[in-house]
Amino acid sequence: MIDKTHKQISVTRQCTLLNVSRSGFYYEHRGECKRNLAIMEAIDRIHLKYPFYGFRRIRHELQNYHFFVGKKLVIRLMKLMAIDVIYSKQNTSKPNKEHKIYPYLLRGLPIERNNQVWEMDITYIPMKHGFMYLAALIDVHSRFVLQWDISNTMNTHWCKEIAANAIAKYGAPEIFNTDQGSQFTSHLFTDYLLENQIKVSMNGRGRAIDNIFIERLWRSVKQENIYLNAYENGQELYAGLNDFFEFYNHKRPHQSLDYHCPNELYKNNYRIVA
């Protein structure tokens, strides 16, 4: 795979040859001790099961995992994990105050066709010796995963690159929905969408349920893949996720889609009324 010490082929060229995002080229995170990484994995499992739990309840629930920790550590780790709790609270996915916040456009909107609405989000992914961030972009009508990538940081250029790759491959959607994280509220990201005549939609603050379709994707990714595997490093994680998303798009029937696969709906333009 990618060799950072290679004298003849640059990392950028290696990423191009392997079809890997350069901005999302994956190094392992090294900033947290083993105990904190274990606490973060427990927090991730608790949040997935109880997405409405704030830091106080999560701190209490951690005792069932034999972690007795202070609230400051829980708050810091939740912020590092970009966890967004479903209720009005101290926001962990903070927008930049200089960035414009766009209104949420999906409330009451019938989603009846492909490329009508895309949603993008970022989630924390635990590994055996660290963690990464996973970003994914889905077509809401078909649930088809259009583009995804992993990175050790959540930055705007990475998110824009994912969106640009999807648009280049599938065309522009009518509406692009995200949360209010600074990666998505940045001028670099929103200006790119507007230049492509895309309407920008953002979840209400503290309302992760506004992004419910991609939240369901995270549940599937973690319960059906991540928690069943102890990936050693970013390369193993990328390969495992690549297999999962291939399965998710092309082979996994979805009850909410009348047991069709997302690929069937997206490629054949079947219609499912939400």
* Sequence-ordered strand ranges (E) for 105-249: 117-126, 131-139, 144-151, 175-178, 199-202
Written as one letter, the residue type at 266 is: Y
Beta strands 175-178 and 117-126: pairing type? parallel
Residues 151 and 252 in one domain: yes
User: What is the span of the domain harbouring residue 64?
Assistant: 11-80
Q: Determine the Cα–Cα distance for residues 24 and 245; give it in Å rounded to an integer.
A: 17
Q: Determine the Cα–Cα distance for residues 11 and 158; give it in Å rounded to an integer.
A: 16
pLDDT of residue 212: 79
How many residues does the structure list for the chain?
274
Task: Using the 3D structure, point to which of 34, 54, 80 is the last residue of a domain.
Answer: 80
Residue 64 belongs to a domain: yes
Task: Using the 3D structure, point to which of 80, 103, 138 is the last residue of a domain.
Answer: 80
pLDDT of residue 87: 43
- 189 and 160 in contact (C-beta within 8 Å)? yes
pTM: 0.81
Residue 112 belongs to a domain: no
Q: Specify the CATH number for the domain of residue 133.
A: 3.30.420.10
Residue pLDDT, tens place only, 177-216: 999 889 999 999 999 999 999 999 998 765 555 677 888 8
In the chain, what's the furthest Cα-to-Cα distance? 56
Burial class (CB in 10 A: 0-12, 13-18, 19+), 220: middle
Phi-psi region of 20 (alpha: psi -120 to 50; beta: other; left: phi over 0): beta
Residues 125 and 199 in one domain: yes
Residue 100 belongs to a domain: no
Place of tokens 């290696």: 14
Residues 242 and 125 in one domain: yes
Please give the average pLDDT of every successive group of 10 residues along the chain, which has 274 residues.
55 59 54 90 92 91 95 94 60 57 91 94 92 95 94 92 96 95 94 97 69 87 93 91 95 77 81 51
